[in-house]
Amino acid sequence: MVENSNAPLIEFKHVSKTFKGTATTKEVHAVHDVSISVDRGEIFGVIGYSGAGKSTLIRMINGLETPTEGSVKVDNQDITQLKKEPLAQLRHKIGMIFQNYNLLKTATIYQNITIPLKLEKIPKDEIQQRAEKYLKIVGLWDRRNSYPSQLSGGQSQRVAVARALAHEPTILLSDEATSALDPETTSSILDLLKDINQKLGLTIFIITHELDVVKSICDKVAIMEAGNVVEQGRTIDVFTGPKQEVTRQFLGSNDLAGVPASLLAETQKHNHVLLIKFIGNEASIPVIAQLTKQFGVEPNIMAGSIEYLKEQPYGKLVISIENNDQYDAEIQYLRDKGVIVEEVG
Amino acid sequence: MSNFIAEWGNTIVNGLSDTLTMTIITLIITIIIGVPLGILLVETNANGMYPNATLHATLETIVNILRSLPFIILLFLILPITRLLVGTTIGIRGVILPLVVYCAPFLARLIESSILDVDPGIIEAYQSMGISNYKIISRVLLREARSGIIRGLTLATIGLIGATAMAGLVGAGGLGDIAYQYGFQRYQPDIMYTSIVILIVLVQIIQTIGNVVSRRLTK
Ligand SMILES: Nc1ncnc2c1ncn2[C@@H]1O[C@H](COP(=O)(O)OP(=O)(O)OP(=O)(O)O)[C@@H](O)[C@H]1O
Ligand SMILES: [Mg+2]
């Protein structure tokens, strides 16, 4: 691929995809007017419920699906305009991993890496070198003579990652690659992807319905609902300031860090309950102390949590402030200090 | 015992060799026709790699018609075609065409179902790597379907041996013919039983080999 570091590596422009109805099925607007751009070296996540159109979206990046409207460009080439041969060339540079791994059952782990390379007519010694290199990266060189049926789900997915990497791609697509795995295995695969992103500079495009995937590795995120991208941006921005109700639901933005509803109702009789969000863990407590100094109120901390968005701490605090006539000024004061404040209704 | 061998040994050996000759020649032609036909049935279907409704419907119809005819009917039904193509309707040469016409659609169905058993995700994965459909079929699908294909071939071979038993009707010989002629028409049960036992052993051997190979290839 041509290096052109300014332009986005993947660019969807007003892309729609409609599946024609048949005698027995209705027409489906799987993707509707989606515009997304993914920069080089980024990990971009798309999150949404089942049937939102995520798989259809990702499959348009490597031409497994063609848009009915709009354009999809990869490295400045319009994927829909490519003829067979250039499309094949481009696909060699776009690796893809799947929920079901899709390994050959009849082939060993080693052969699962080498067979696709052979079919692409890569020289033999080069194939051997790559198989060794990438099986070592995913930590399965020792298991090279095993068959997929002898591996766990996590190991199988590592083989699939190695198979994708062995083409030395610039982009890695992942369609629900961790959805069939337990949380621990999921995080080990995510760590592997993060590592690959950092060490090999791969751009990664991830489809998922799991929030943890987005939280732990995505630089940017798009939220998809019923074919539309309803919100997108830097993960940290979307988490701290979700604009759409769907986004809030999806990200658990309205979640009060475990305060029970009964306690909330009781507290709200004489208090304002506030949800405070902040990035970085130093900011919050001193701000509340300063609030006390300034206004003489004594906020009560009801609950709190700190999560990490790709290593960035992101905190939530639920506090209650006894009803008083300076309430508006107090909220303004907190906002001026740079924390995000929402009154819990 | 040695008397029996001296008297009938030659007949039986000839019969066995006729049966094997018919089976092997027909099997080879059946594979050459049946395997591509099975692949076509899968890939011309709506969700195949080369959807083609007309071709698919045509192939389906032909296969279904041929599959519904008993061999004995087929044998006589296509006599004119056999004469035209092979120049004779008798002997081993005369029976090969009907045997192929009988067996190839059967094998095609078995190939079709073993290919359909391959996870479609695999095809998608290989397409996403930029590998051509032709290579996916020949190097990936057939490979992944291979143990099912071997099981299908075993089944087709055994069916074929059964059909060759009727080849005697057009003078093609074989063990089935011997059992019929000597056992039934001339009432010589020992030669009939001997032929039958040899047929049973033959089928057992083929099934066992098929099972072992298929299991080996499942990995
Ligand atoms: N080939 C197809 N033909 C017809 N409709 C399709 C096709 N592929 C997908 N769809 C429909 O498009 C919509 C979006 O499907 P898609 O697979 O993209 O959703 P998804 O977000 O990936 O869901 P999941 O999380 O369940 O994988 C669904 O309503 C689906 O039924
Ligand atoms: Mg999906």
- Give A73-117 pLDDT, tens digit per residue: 999 999 989 998 899 999 999 999 999 999 999 999 999 999 999
Q: Does residue A208 surpass a pLDDT of 80?
A: yes
**Do A191 and A241 have their domain in common?**
yes
CB atoms within 10 A of CB B69: 15
Q: Does residue B89 or residue A17 have the better pLDDT?
A: A17
B155 to A134, B181, B208: CA distances (angstroms)? 42, 27, 11
Please state the ipTM of this predicted complex.
0.86
Domain containing B73 equals 2-218
* CA of A55 relative to ligand 1 center, distance in Å: 7
Average pLDDT over residues B118-146: 95
Lowest mean pLDDT among A35-49, A129-143, A326-340: A326-340
Residue A276 lies in a domain: yes
What's at A342, amino acid-wise? E
Asked if the Cβ–Cβ distance from B219 to A100 is below 8 Å, we say no
Closest CA of chain A from B103, distance in Å: 28
**Do A14 and A87 have their domain in common?**
yes
Closest to B178 in 3D by CA, of B164, A330, A110: B164
Q: What is the DSSP string of A41-86?
A: T-EEEEEE-TTSSHHHHHHTTTTSS--SEEEEEETTEEGGG--HHH
Q: Does residue A281 surpass a pLDDT of 70?
A: no
Which chain A residues are closer than 8 Å to B145 by Cβ? none
What's at B20, amino acid-wise? L
Q: Is B120 on the interface with A (CB under 8 A)?
A: no
Q: Is A158 on the interface with B (CB under 8 A)?
A: no
Among protein residues, the one whose CA lies closest to atom 22 of ligand 1: A55
**Contacting A residues, span 36-65, partner chain B, CB-CB under 8 Å:** 62, 64
* B206 in Cβ contact with B158 (< 8 Å): yes
Q: What tokens does B143 get?
A: 């490979």
Domain termination residue (choose one: A251, A280, A299):
A251
Closest CA of chain B from A244, distance in Å: 34
Report which ligand 1 atom has the smallest distance to the Cα of A224.
Answer: 21
Neighbours of ion ligand 2 (CB under 5 A): A 55
CB atoms within 10 A of CB A289: 11
Asked if the Cβ–Cβ distance from B128 to A88 is below 8 Å, we say no
What pLDDT score does A276 carry?
87
Q: How confident is the model at residue A327 (pLDDT cuts 50, 70, 90)?
A: confident
**Do A177 and A81 have their domain in common?**
yes
Q: What is the DSSP string of A101-164?
A: ----TTS-HHHHHHHHHHHTT--HHHHHHHHHHHHHHTT-GGGTTS-GGGS-HHHHHHHHHHHH
Please, which contacts does B49-53 make with residues 24 or more away whose CB atoms are closer than 8 Å? B49/B123, B49/B133, B49/B136, B49/B137, B50/B133
Contacts of A54 (CB under 8 A, 6+ apart): A46, A47, A48, A175, A207, A208, A209, A224
Q: Does residue A9 or residue A317 have the better pLDDT?
A: A9
A321 to A70, A155, A271, B173, B198: CA distances (angstroms)? 51, 51, 5, 103, 96
Chain A residue with CA closest to B142: the answer is: A106
Residue A159 lies in a domain: no
CATH number of the structural domain spanning residue B13: 1.10.3720.10
Domain containing A231 equals 10-93+169-251
Q: How confident is the model at residue A159 (pLDDT cuts 50, 70, 90)?
A: very high
Specify the number of domains making up chain B. 1
Q: Is B140 on the interface with A (CB under 8 A)?
A: yes
* Residue in B127, B129, B144 closest to A105 by CB: B144
d(CA A151, CA B173): 53
Q: Please, what is the average pLDDT of chain A?
A: 89
**Do A221 and A196 have their domain in common?**
yes
Q: Does residue A47 surpass a pLDDT of 60?
A: yes
Average pLDDT over residues B22-50: 95
Domain termination residue (choose one: A251, A270, A294):
A251
Q: Does residue A283 surpass a pLDDT of 60?
A: no
Residue pairs between chains A and B whose CB atoms are closer than 8 Å: 64
Q: Is B146 on the interface with A (CB under 8 A)?
A: yes
Closest to A99 in 3D by CA, of A250, A249, A210: A210
Pairing assessment for the beta strands A69-74 and A10-19 based on DSSP bridges? antiparallel
Q: Does residue A6 surpass a pLDDT of 80?
A: no
Q: Please, what is the average pLDDT of chain B?
A: 90
**Do A319 and A298 have their domain in common?**
yes
Asked if the Cβ–Cβ distance from A107 to B143 is below 8 Å, we say yes
% of chain B at pLDDT higher than 90: 58
Q: What tokens does B182 get?
A: 């000597």
Which chain A residues are closer than 8 Å to B127 by Cβ? 64, 91
A199 to A191, A195, A203, B76: CA distances (angstroms)? 12, 6, 11, 72
Asked if the Cβ–Cβ distance from A91 to B128 is below 8 Å, we say yes
**How many helices (H) does chain A have, and how many strands (E)?**
12, 14
**Do A69 and A184 have their domain in common?**
yes
Pairing assessment for the beta strands A228-234 and A300-309 based on DSSP bridges? unpaired
* CA of A207 relative to ligand 2 center, distance in Å: 8
The pair phi, psi for residue A249, each rounded to 5°, is -60, -50
Q: Is A7 on the interface with B (CB under 8 A)?
A: no
d(CA A221, CA A278): 19
What's at A196, amino acid-wise? I
Average pLDDT over residues A18-39: 91
The DSSP 8-state label assigned to residue A259 in this structure reads: -
Lowest mean pLDDT among A173-177, A183-187, A188-192, A287-291: A287-291
**Do A300 and A214 have their domain in common?**
no
**Model-wide pTM > 0.90:** no
Residue A56 lies in a domain: yes
Report which ligand 1 atom has the smallest distance to the Cα of A54.
Answer: 21
CATH number of the structural domain spanning residue A237: 3.40.50.300
Beta-bridge partner residues of A72: A12
Closest ligand to C-alpha of residue A175 is: 2
Q: Does residue B35 or residue B2 have the better pLDDT?
A: B35
Specify the number of domains making up chain A. 2
Q: Can you point out the beta strands (E) in A209-299? A: 220-225, 228-234, 271-279
Most confident stretch, A108-112, A242-246, B84-88: A108-112
What pLDDT score does A282 carry?
60
CB atoms within 10 A of CB B133: 15
